Amino acid sequence: MRIAIYGKGGIGKSTISANITAAMSARGLKVLQIGCDPKHDSTRLLLDGREPPTVMDYIRNTRKEDMSLFDVVAQGYGRSMCVEAGGPEPGVGCAGRGILSTFDLLDELGMERLEADVTIYDVLGDVVCGGFAVPLRNDYAEKVFIVTSGEFMAIYAANNILRGVRNYDPLRIGGIIFNSRGEEEERDRVHAFATAVGLPIVAEIPRSPLFLEGERRGKTVVETFPATELTDCFHRLAAMMLEGDVSEAEPLSDEDLERIVLGKEKAGKAEVMVNATKVANGRPRSAPVYTSRNVDRHEVLHGCAFTGAVVTCLSVQGLQTVMHSPDSCAHLSCQMAQNAARRAYLREGISIPSFLEPSSHCTSMDDPAMVFGAKGLLEEAIRKAASVSGRIAVVSSCPSGIIGDDVVETVRRMSAEFPDAKIVPMIEDGNAAGDHMQGVIDACVALADHLIDQDLAPVKGMVNVVGIKPIATNNERNMSFLASILGRMGMSVNCRFIGGTDVTSIEGFKKAKVSILANTDRFTRMLASFLIDEHGVKVMERPLTAGIVGTEAWVRELAALGGVEVERLLAELGTEYRTGLIPLRKELEGRSACIISMHKDIDWLIDLIDDLGIELRRAVVVDRSDHLMDYHVGNRHSQRIELLEDYVIDYVVNESLRLSPDILLSTYPVTDREGVVQERIPMVPDIGHLAPLEMARHWALALKAPRVEGWREEDD
């Protein structure tokens, strides 16, 4: 028989549980009592006032290979067996997680070898969280008893416990144990509650000085005063618990509970503080929020914010990244960064040192850390990071948020220990903060707020580039092109924000009088809004983009802001474009194409098709939930573009192929139909007037290739 005894903290539950165990032991039963409470005092009265070693301390101090079941089981009164789960220090860690770890360890060590006739779980019931609810599961307790007094909060806790039981098998409530405080009218309140929820009161434990005397001796009443009515009460209760029936209770609503127990009618809602501020990522909650599309629209999340923030921080040279996470989370994040570096090297022949050798530290949160809290691990990791560099980002993960580690407070203390350092907290807590892109945005916001030197004066000819994606593989090629154009205008890049930058550049962000957007997606627009709103940054209207029209537009705007003459430069760019277009037009003129894009900004692509003399039979933009371009871009070719928010991709593809285009241009592969020539529209297009021509060269080669691969026709 397995019995769980629940009740509000301080209600006398442990004293009652120990006396029940003593009564059952006196009947010759072999009883195992497991205290599921961080106070670890459930079995003290069975052990002459001694406290056994707790399972949590055992886990923390003992190697796995040295563990033994009998190290955590103490022999108590009447052959009873006593186990205390224990827990972390108050205010840190997760006590509920400790209960889970206790049961896992007992199972691993072979608890069934104890051959107990009865197992009693003495469980804290103030909050039935996942850990404290373990004994409610069907494979543990067969019966559940609830201890309560006549105080309203004790009854309120009892009602909550009933709600927790209903989430499992509701037909397991043995009844209510009324532990009287000796107050007036409390008996009426308990009986009214029991009647309302449909449960029997299986015992009424009177208030008695014998309990205090037993406590002084470190023993149960059953052992100390065997020939008393109070001990007989526990013997009757023990028999009933073993032999009685179970009931299915109906918990009350909060309003009904107050009406039945207190005789109180429904009260109005309390006023709340709408302007209360809570700091996260170094910014108050009341501050403007800069979100990814998935977060803004409550869509399915793609990746986690922890990984997005980590990858962003790893891309910044001179920044030490502390990952407050398990090793697995850190490994996945670093792998994403290193995979981006490998792609860049294989595709572009470009090395990204910050990704290949990431400056990172991990707190390696394991099960004990999640139980006892990981403040010490975080402090140690920050100290290691500070020994390398005085610029540190601390990114929290899901486990940190679940157990309630106060990362911001830890960063505050460590900042006092290292006054010359800048330590940036990023409270991501994994998916709790949003998707991968939300983490990227959060990291950019936090680093800008903490690192940008607000006192710097602008330097003539300096330009910032905002919205560079950390893992895009064409960053270096795009920045090389930009540098060449700026050089011809007598200008240079001050800060690349944020992919491929360094701490010094971010700190010197204000040296540039103007910032230009790296592309036209939501990520870039969010960063621009943040920098304008919070840092007073001047951002150009025209972004960097592919194609001759877009390139001419941003060059003219930048020249006007800088007072630079660029007519000769523009003429040269136009000549270069038209010259490159001539041989490609000879090969592609008269061909036909259809577009299926995830980008709304495809003016440059339609310009290219028109300039090549290709017939555009259809241009479709599909609104994908995992894409970020969800804003109005003001297409010049809007009349030729279909925007589909509700669609079935197979239907869209089939309708396009029905038009028999020579080439299908799409952001991702949309069909495996043999004979269809598909070419990719890049997620992050190359910028510049000549970039589209390079794409067109691939089209020409693809159209020359056989439509059907010859090896498919060969005999085996």
Q: Which strand (E) or helix (H) includes residue 195? A: helix 186-197
Mean pLDDT, range 311-331, rounded to an integer? 94
**pLDDT tier at 272, thresholds 50, 70, 90:** very low
Mean pLDDT, range 338-349, rounded to an integer? 74
Domain topology for 583-704: Rossmann fold (3.40.50)
Mean pLDDT, range 10-29, rounded to an integer? 95
How would you label 36-60 residue by residue, b for 16+ Cβ within 10 Å and e otherwise? bbbbbbbbbbbbeeebbbbbbbbbe
Structural domain boundaries of the chain? 2-262, 279-451, 462-568, 583-704
CA distances from 177 to 2, 10, 219, 240 (A): 17, 14, 21, 11
In this structure, which amino acid lies at residue 116? A
**Angle, to 10 degrees, between the axis of helix 691-704 and the axis of helix 603-612?**
60
Segment among 77-81, 392-396, 669-673 with least mean pLDDT: 669-673
Active-site residue 269, yes or no? no
Four-point Cα dihedral 180, 184, 188, 194, nearest 10 = -30
- pLDDT tens-digit readout, 171-223: 889 999 999 988 878 999 999 999 999 999 999 999 999 999 999 999 999 99
- pLDDT tens-digit readout, 396-441: 999 888 887 889 889 999 999 999 999 999 999 877 788 999 999 9
Active-site residue 139, yes or no? no
In this structure, which amino acid lies at residue 566? V
- pLDDT tens-digit readout, 364-390: 998 888 877 888 999 999 999 999 999
More reliable by pLDDT, 715 or 27 = 27
Place of tokens 């390139």: 551
Catalytic-labelled residue, pool 41, 57, 71, 126: 126
Q: Give bridge partners of residue 175 from the DSSP assignment.
A: 145
How would you label 227-244 residue by residue, b for 16+ Cβ within 10 Å and e otherwise? eeebbebbbebbebbbee
Q: What is the spatial distance between Cα 336 and Cα 311, in angstroms, rounded to a whole number?
A: 7
- pLDDT tens-digit readout, 512-536: 999 999 988 889 999 999 999 999 9
What tokens appear for 575 in the block? 């000549």
CA distances from 661 to 589, 617, 622, 653, 655 (A): 13, 7, 19, 11, 11
CATH fourth-level superfamily of 462-568: Nitrogenase molybdenum iron protein domain (3.40.50.1980)
pLDDT of residue 396: 94
pLDDT of residue 282: 55
| Contact of 323 with 395, CB cutoff 8 Å | yes
In this structure, which amino acid lies at residue 344? A
* 178 burial level (CB within 10 Å; 0-12, 13-18, 19+): buried
Active-site residue 8, yes or no? yes
pTM, two decimals, is 0.78
Architecture label for domain 279-451: 3-Layer(aba) Sandwich (3.40)
Could you please report the per-residue DSSP string of 405-421?
A: --HHHHHHHHHHHSTT-
Return the SS3 of 673: coil
What 213-219 contacts at long range (C-beta under 8 Å, 24+ apart), as own/partner pairs, is 214/45, 215/15, 215/45, 217/49, 218/44, 218/45, 218/47, 218/48, 218/49, 218/50, 219/45, 219/48, 219/49, 219/77
**pLDDT tier at 715, thresholds 50, 70, 90:** low
**pLDDT tier at 126, thresholds 50, 70, 90:** low
| Contact of 546 with 602, CB cutoff 8 Å | no
**pLDDT tier at 487, thresholds 50, 70, 90:** very high
Q: Which strand (E) or helix (H) includes residue 280? A: strand 279-280
**pLDDT reading at 710 higher than 80:** no
- 279-451 and 462-568 share one CATH topology? yes
What tokens appear for 260 in the block? 């039945």
Q: What is the spatial distance between Cα 449 and Cα 447, in angstroms, rounded to a whole number?
A: 5
Domain topology for 2-262: Rossmann fold (3.40.50)
Other C-beta atoms closer than 10 Å to the C-beta of 331 total 13
Q: What is the spatial distance between Cα 415 and Cα 408, in angstroms, rounded to a whole number?
A: 10
- pLDDT tens-digit readout, 620-654: 999 875 444 455 567 899 899 998 888 888 999 99
**pLDDT reading at 48 higher than 80:** yes
Catalytic-labelled residue, pool 8, 143, 375, 510: 8
Mean pLDDT, range 448-476, rounded to an integer? 93
Catalytic-labelled residue, pool 13, 219, 375, 510: 13
Active-site residue 600, yes or no? no
Q: What is the spatial distance between Cα 531 and Cα 529, in angstroms, rounded to a whole number?
A: 6
Catalytic-labelled residue, pool 39, 104, 117, 256: 39
Q: How much is the mean pLDDT over the chain? A: 89
Over pLDDT 70: what percentage of the chain? 92
More reliable by pLDDT, 696 or 271 = 696
pLDDT of residue 269: 54
